[in-house]
Amino acid sequence: MAQHLTEKDVRRIAEYARIGLTDEELVQMTVDLNNVIDTLKPITEFDLEGVEPTFHPIGDLSNVMREDVEVAGFSQKVALSNAPKQMDGCFLIPSILGEGGDR
């Protein structure tokens, strides 16, 4: 098995991904990642000169969103119709800071 990644490389990757590894896990992860790279090595040996891509995961990409059409919004009366409490045309909500009470 070739050593593609060192323990230092794996430690940096783990820190970047915010994965905590013990020293034992670091050693095992280094071995595992190097084995994965070795397993995928034959893919790099194919002669792909002149081979056109046959698949793209997105396919024939087009805008699938609806047209942006302006429509009338809620009136203030409708917006406040289900509010448990209201005052002066505004929602009245419990205070979460300070002395409490509604604001």
pLDDT along the chain (103 residues), means of 10: 90 96 96 95 90 74 80 92 91 80 64
- Answer whether 76's CB lies under 8 Å from 89's CB: yes
Report the alpha-carbon distance of residue 78 to residue 89 in Å, rounded.
11
What is the model's pTM?
Answer: 0.47
What residues have CB less than 8 Å from 86, skipping those under 6 apart? Answer: 80, 92
Report the alpha-carbon distance of residue 19 to residue 29 in Å, rounded.
12
Report the alpha-carbon distance of residue 75 to residue 57 in Å, rounded.
44
pLDDT of residue 94: 84
pLDDT of residue 54: 76
pLDDT of residue 38: 94
